[in-house]
Structure formats: structure tokens, C-alpha cells
Structure 1
Amino acid sequence: MTLDVPRIRTRVAELLSEYGIPSAAIGVLHDGTVVEFAVGVRNVETGEAATIDTVYQCGSMTKTWTALAFMQLVDEGKVDLDEPVRTYLPGFRVADPEASAKITPRHLLYHADGVEEAYGDPGEDDDVYERMVATIADASQVFPLGHTHGYSAALGYAILARILEVLDGKRWDDIMRDRLFDPMGLTSTSSWRGQVDETRAATGHLIRSLDDGPIVTPVDYLPRAFGPGGNITSTIPDVLTMAHVLLNEGVAPNGKRIVSAESMQEMMRSRVPVPDPYLFGPAWALGLIVCDWHGETVYATDGSTIGQNARLRVLPDSNTAIAMLTNGGPRESLYRTVFNEILVDLGTVTIPDLPAPDPTLHLDLSRYEGVYERPGTRFEVSTDSGTLCLTLVLDPMQAEFLQKPDRISYALQPVSETHFLMPPADPLEDPQTVAIYDFTDGAARYLHTNCRVHPRSG
């Protein structure tokens, strides 16, 4: 490995200061060689230094671990990815009868089930996933089953976890330990906050302004409902162990087979298109995002909690994986800059830029105008002096805490008939992309950004 660690460590320190992020732990696995380092502090109030053994919240990177455990059931012949969920959970039901009868584990793994996250408050007890499945009988469809891709933050993977629980006769947390953490030799990874070594845990941070700097998050952990989709905590060495499994056809560094080579291939090759292909990637596989970096296929798994973030990129063609865990952000420009500097040192493909607007496009803007929303999120698309604008309506409490207005407007710059570049409206933000698409009825039916889909409501 030809990685210039001192230079990259210095560069990371500069970027953390620029972005107001307290720390980052970074790991690189390249041709079997591992490099790991950490920069910054795990808590701005205590000033304790972050190390490679600091435990960070991984957020939705958890979904990849849950998918691996589920694929073990496939290897054991206990489940079929294309059998209805009802085969394993006979009482499974949502508002739409067709979805109730036809949703499969595959739909859930790559976020094509379309069920609204209407599971209420299932509590913090061991029966949380059983309760979630029991309370979604009236959950509506955000989109028809299989019609598009729409990320499920918690519910989809909670249903998968409940299948695991029923078939294994254990709670999900114990299943993850017995099926993955112990066999993989993960000594610092856990699935529930009660298992976290607080003396090594990073504290999450938010930032209201660059002048004020990072402040400790008011929300220490996500609710237990997010467990299978977002509550794993881990260290850089343990995340790279998972990356090794992904790079080596299901085999961990200790030589133990975690899933079969066939299941590993299925995880990567079974895909649905992502309506907005630019921010992360053009497709979603089983627990993994599929990226296209200048023609090379790269797999990604990311996560965010309220004040912590995780990024992992796996490059099979280069036998390389890069991971970064932070206790602030998220800032996509930080991840892109750091990873690209590492990738250049390694002589591999780099992350492509977001697309440039096409000034020659002349669109009928009226087809895009309207309100697109889900519970807790509302986007208003309108026209102002011939320019398409998107207004994000923030929850008043969130806006007050972040000291932001409750309505933030962005210009949408056309990239194609269905895709737009959205420049930032604030120095703390990065450029994003937005898809507004499906003109079946003349006007667009869906708005897709940051992997989430929002149907037109007006």
C-alpha cells in the first residue's frame, strides 16, 4: 500500500476544523493490508482524543449487517427471498391487500415495498419488532409494491428482523451476536445501546453555525425501533472486518465463512434502480447501494444518526475498501475529499462529481410544480421568474433548535427532464440532486432525494 498517511491525516484534521466536525476514524483495506487512524476528539466538552478503538454509531450501515444475517437463513434453506413475508409471519398485514399478500424479503432488502413507516411508538422492550409488525395493519402505500425505490429507515428491516426472531427463537440483538459478531471476531460491535462501552463511545455533535462550532447532540441514541436498520455501533477495525467479508465472497479475516459465495453474489447483483442515481448510486442491492464510478462498480453502505455518521465504500475490482466514522456532519464533501485523496494514492478509480446543469433544456415547469410529502417531511415545488424552486418545510421544533427558518428554498437546475442539481442554500450544506419523475398522469407523481421518495399530495 502506497498510502501517505501523515499527509492524509493532516488533510483530515484541516477538513474537520473547516466543517466543524470533532473527529473522524478512517480505515483502508487494500490487497489484504490494513491502515487505520483517527483524528480529533470524541467529545468536544471533555476533549478526549478519538482513537481507532473509539466506538461510533453506524446508523443505516446496520442494514448491511442485518442483510448478512438474513442471507444466512437463505443459505440454511429456512427462507426464500421471493416467498411472501406471510409465509414466515402469517399475521403480516398492511392496508393494501395486494401488498399484504405479495411483499417478499427481497422487496424489503432493496426498499421496493412502498409501505409507509406508520408503526407508532413500539417502545424499548425486547418485543419491539414484534410490536412494529403488529401495528402496521393500517399502514398505507407510499407507492405501489415494486413501482419505484423508496428508502425505509426503520420498518422494512424491522420486518426482516422479526422473521429472524421467529425462525431463530431469539431476540434480534442476540441473533446478531451469535450469527455475526462472535463468528466474525467483532469485539467492539453491538446492536443495542445497553451493550455500548461508554468509556470508548464517541459523542454525537450538531452544528448550527461555523462560528459557534459543534455542540453535543440532544439525542444520544435512536429509538430501539431503528435497531435492525440503524442502531449498530462499531469501530473502524470492526467495520473493515465486515468489508473483508464483502470483498472475499463471504469469508471473514479469521477464515470463518459468514455467508456462502452465492449469497454474497446475490446481495450484490439483485438490484432495483434508484430514481436519483447521482448522490449515491444508480441502483440498490440487498443491503448495499450500487455505485458507478467512471464505469467501475462500487458498493456502498452509509449511515447517519443525530450527530454521528458512517461511510463505507467497497471496490471489488481494486480489492479495496475505505471506511470513515465521524461524530459530526454529515458532509458529503468531507467524505468525497478524503476518500478521493486516498483513492488517488492507491491508484484506483475516484468518486465522480455531481452532474452539471444542462442550460439547453427547456422544460414545461408546470409539470413539476406541486407539494410532495411524507409524515414529517414536506417539499413544495414552484416557479419563480422562470426558475424551478424547491422549498423544504422544516418541523418548527427542529428549525428552532438548529436556529434556521422553517422554510428553506433552493433553486433547481435541470440536468435532464427528470433530474435536477440543487445548490446549497447555506455554507453548512453540500450540493444535492433531486429526481422529480413519473409523468403517468401528466404531472410528476414523485420527488426522490437522499434516497427517500415523496409522493405528490397536491
Structure 2
Amino acid sequence: AVVKDDEVIYAKGFGYRNMDKKLAMTADSLLAIGSASKAFTTFAMGILVDEGKLNWDKPVRNYIPWFRLYDPFASERLTPRDLVTHRSGLPRHDLSWYNNFKASRKEFVMRLAHLKPTADLREKFQYNNLMLLTAGYLVEVITDKKWETAIRSYVFEPLGMKRTNFSVEDSQRDMDFAIPYREKDGKIEQIPFRNITNIGPAGSINSSVNEMSHWLLAHLNQ
């Protein structure tokens, strides 16, 4: 999509959303936006800050008293700002959540106490999905709502993002969604959908070109 001033001047899909049936991608085709989901979590946190319910620079423990990292110093001082700027000191540790479809968000946050850091708090940037998961769980604690409910209320509904959703199951119930593929040995082959709703705040949102243009316009014209 291309936006200018306060309107979308070009929106189009390219390629196929279903290669077997030769169904073309459209500007309304739903597909995973991946880690762009993190911006939605951070946006909701910003609204909570504006409402006086959250402070970017107060310790996470102010809101989740049992919160603990491997490093006691970081446990006491890690803030919401640290969560969303990837400066907790933890490396990715993606194997601690990847393909784990049963653990709850709270359980993932509790496991942080056992994951060793590779840097001191705020020493450097280290990309970490679990910190954004924790940010989403923090939104749940403060709002007393599921992260999905909070994001829909704070973001999707005000922006008219009616088909944007949180799971591959929701996408497959829609009439226009993209099937995932990969290239292997020079061939394109279909791969299974991967449901990562339990780590949703870090990456589970599915949307379309047209609806993401609403999100883009909101930021450009704030």
C-alpha cells in the first residue's frame, strides 16, 4: 500500500495466496504480519501510560510482584521500557518457547527466572521475543483482560481493522487468506500453518494490506 496525507492512494496484492487453486493475492488477503505485532503491544502500553495506569520507567515488579529474572539486579530494575527496547540482557532463547503450544503466557514469564543473560541490564540491544510476550502479559495484568481483547479494544476497533485477527484458525475461517509456502531445492511447497497464539504479543497477528494501511495512517497522521 502507498499512503499520501490522509488517504491510501494505491493498494494491491501480488502473486498467489493459494498456488494449487491459482487464487491471487489481493489487498484484502490475510497473512501473518509476524513481529510487526510487537508494535501493537507497545502501542497498547502507550495508551495505558496516557491513562495513568502504567509508567514506562517504573519496575515491572510494581505491576507483577512475583516477576523474576535470572539476575537479581535486573529483576528489581527491569522496566516496561526495557521490555520493548530489547535491553534486558537476555539473548533470544527462542528454543524456550518455539513449538511449545501448551504453556500459558504466565508460565512463559515465570520461566524467565531460569534463562541466563549474556549481558548486563541495558548494556546493549539483544532481540528477544519473550520480553514482548512479557509486555503483553503486563497489558493483561493491568487491564484485567486478555491481550487479544485489549488490542482489539485499544487498536483494532478504533482503526476499523475488522478482519485483523490473532490466530491462524481465525484466518482460515475467512474467505481471503494466504496459505504459507517455502522454497526448498528450487521448488515452492506448502507448509503447515503455525499457531503461536500463546506468544501472541510478540508475533501472532494476521492482517491485510488494506487494514494495515489504517494502522500506517494512524501513525503518520497522529
Structure 1 length normalisation: TM-score? 0.45
> What is the distance in 2 between the residues matched to 1:193 and 1:165?
21
Cα shift at 1:222: 4.3
> What is the distance in 2 between the residues matched to 1:31 and 1:231?
29
> What is the distance in 1 between the residues matched to 2:175 and 2:109?
35
Which residue is 2:144 aligned to?
169
Which residue is 1:215 aligned to?
189
SS at match of 1:136: helix
Question: CA deviation digits over 1:86-116, x for unaligned, max 9?
Answer: 1111110011111111111111111111224
RMSD over aligned Cα, in angstroms? 1.9
SS at match of 1:38: coil
SS at match of 2:216: helix
1:193 aligns with 2:159: no
Cα shift at 1:129: 1.3
Cα shift at 1:194: 3.3
Structure 2 length normalisation: TM-score? 0.91
Cα shift at 1:32: 2.4
> What is the distance in 2 between the residues matched to 1:220 and 1:114?
32
1:206 aligns with 2:182: yes
> What is the distance in 1 between the residues matched to 2:209 and 2:122?
35
Equivalent residue runs for 1:40-439 within 5 Å: 40-116=15-91, 117=93, 119-120=96-97, 124=101, 128-152=104-128, 154-196=129-171, 197-210=173-186, 212=187, 214-217=188-191, 219-249=192-222
> What is the distance in 2 between the residues matched to 1:122 and 1:163?
23
C-alpha distance 38-121 of structure 1, shift in aligned 2 (>3 A) = closer
> What is the distance in 1 between the residues matched to 2:57 and 2:46?
13
> What is the distance in 1 between the residues matched to 2:200 and 2:54?
21
SS at match of 2:124: coil
Cα shift at 1:193: 2.7
Larger radius of gyration: 1
Percent of residue pairs bearing the same amino acid type: 28
Higher RCO by CA contacts (8 Å cutoff, separation 6 or greater): 2
**Aligned-partner residue type, residue 212 of structure 2:** V
In structure 2, stretches of 5+ residues that fail to align are none
**Aligned-partner residue type, residue 140 of structure 1:** K
Cα shift at 1:156: 0.8
**Aligned-partner residue type, residue 107 of structure 2:** R
**Aligned-partner residue type, residue 217 of structure 2:** H
Which consecutive segments of 4 or more residues in structure 1 shift more than 6 A? none
In structure 1, stretches of 5+ residues that fail to align are 1-26, 250-458
Cα shift at 1:42: 0.3
Cα shift at 1:123: 5.3
- Quick check: 1:122–1:131 contact (8 Å CA) kept in 2? no
C-alpha distance 173-158 of structure 1, shift in aligned 2 (>3 A) = same
Which residue is 1:387 aligned to?
none
**Aligned-partner residue type, residue 7 of structure 2:** T
Specify which structure has the higher proportion of strand. Answer: 1
Question: CA deviation digits over 1:25-79, x for unaligned, max 9?
Answer: xx11012231111222102122111111110100001011111111111001111
- Quick check: 1:56–1:233 contact (8 Å CA) kept in 2? yes
Specify which structure has the higher proportion of helix. Answer: 2
- Quick check: 1:41–1:47 contact (8 Å CA) kept in 2? yes
Question: CA deviation digits over 1:318-356, x for unaligned, max 9?
Answer: xxxxxxxxxxxxxxxxxxxxxxxxxxxxxxxxxxxxxxx
